[in-house]
Chain A
Amino acid sequence: MKEVMLDCYGEACPVPLVKAQNKLNELELGDVLIVQIDHSCAMKNVPEWARKEGYNVEVEEVDDGEWEVIIEKNK
């Protein structure tokens, strides 16, 4: 049950999404991936993709214009 941070600050859409997809593939069941983003477009498509995949997703605005998308690999 580890928790992995993925730093995507300064990365434009769709780089955070692709990185998150690749990272999540490496993780084990029950692990949590935290994607840090500051691109408003990635704020939309990363959670949208993860929810569609059926993972538990939470989005938190940690600072103005900076978000953490918390994805739990629950399946």
Chain B
Amino acid sequence: MAEVSRASRRGSNRNRKPKKNQIPFGVLLALFVVVVAIILNAKSSTLALFWITGTAFGFVLQKGRFCFTASMRDPYLTGSTSLTRAVIIAFALTTIGFTAIKYGYAAQGLPIPGMSYVAPISIATLIGAFMFGVGMVIAGGCASGTLMRVGEGFYMNMISLVFFVVGSLLGAHDYGWWKEHFISKGPSVFLPDVFGWMGAVVLQLLVLMALYVIAEKYEAKRGGAGH
């Protein structure tokens, strides 16, 4: 491909300063993570687990260029649904995983963990989701995306993080009022109660599969035409 090589010879690579070798920093950082994990483990093994899973999650997000914001925005902006489909696959995997955990507890007659997240659905959910969607596109990252890019050293997301904290504090301050007057008015649905454990998993996977197919069709339709 002669033309590609022509493109590759361009660029501002005339007087480029040599890059610093990042490997020593990486080794130091890995050691730091391990040392902190050992210190935390002395206090509580749960803390150490959170530390390791958090670090691993951040690593995967950054290296995978996984972005919930882009998954919602790119279909409109570029016609690309690759991240949208990645999120759908992630949902499908977590559906299976979480149902397995919950079913495990239910089958033994134990209280099911995480049931406090079965929150009522109301118009507040819709409005809140819409506001969050607008906000995350403007801020250039959702919650995890903002944290990940602060770690990358992207200044704009540091501003996002500050106001993310401010907004969360304000929200937490007034949450009781909202919950009492709006949120608790809605019905809360736990799918396995309605469709049974198997039915709930199958239904949710079917819906996700349908979304995946739609996303793929949509991308094919937008194709190379784009804007």
Contacts and interface: CB of A to CB of B under 8 A. Distances in A.
Given A52-B226, A53-B226, A70-B10, A14 B73 contact: yes
From A43, A58, A63, residue with most partner B Cβ within 10 Å: A58
Contact of B67 (A41, A52, A58, A64): A41
B140 A13 contact: yes
A39 B7 contact: no
A36 to B, nearest CB: 8
A52 B6 contact: no
Interface in A24-58: 32, 34, 36, 38-41, 43-45, 48-49, 52-54, 56-58
B152 interface: yes
Contacts of B155: 10
A1 to B, nearest CB: 10
B11 A52 contact: no
B153 interface: yes
B80 A54 contact: no
Contacts of B74: 14, 45
A34 B11 contact: yes
Interface stretch (B15-23, B27-35, B43-51): B15-23
Majority SS of interface residues in chain A?
mixed
The size class of the interface chain B forms with chain A is 35 or more
Interface in B52-88: 62, 65, 67, 69-70, 73-74, 77-80, 82
A3 B10 contact: yes
Contacts of A34: 10-12
A74 B3 CA distance: 9
A64 B77 contact: no
A32 B62 CA distance: 29
Interface in B1-15: 1, 3-4, 6-8, 10-13
Contacts of B11: 34, 58, 60, 62, 68, 70
Given A39-B140, A70-B7, A48 B12 contact: no
A63 B12 contact: no
A61 to B, nearest CB: 8
Nearest to A34: B11
3 residue pairs, one from A and one from B, having the closest CB atoms: A12-B140, A72-B7, A58-B8
Interface of B: 1, 3-4, 6-8, 10-13, 16-17, 19-20, 22, 62, 65, 67, 69-70, 73-74, 77-80, 82, 137, 139-141, 145, 149, 152-157, 223-224, 226-227
30 contacts: A5-B12, A10-B155, A11-B156, A12-B139, A12-B149, A12-B154, A12-B157, A13-B69, A14-B73, A14-B77, A17-B77, A32-B10, A34-B12, A41-B69, A41-B70, A43-B65, A45-B70, A45-B80, A53-B224, A56-B3, A58-B8, A60-B11, A61-B19, A62-B11, A62-B12, A64-B20, A64-B22, A65-B153, A70-B10, A72-B6
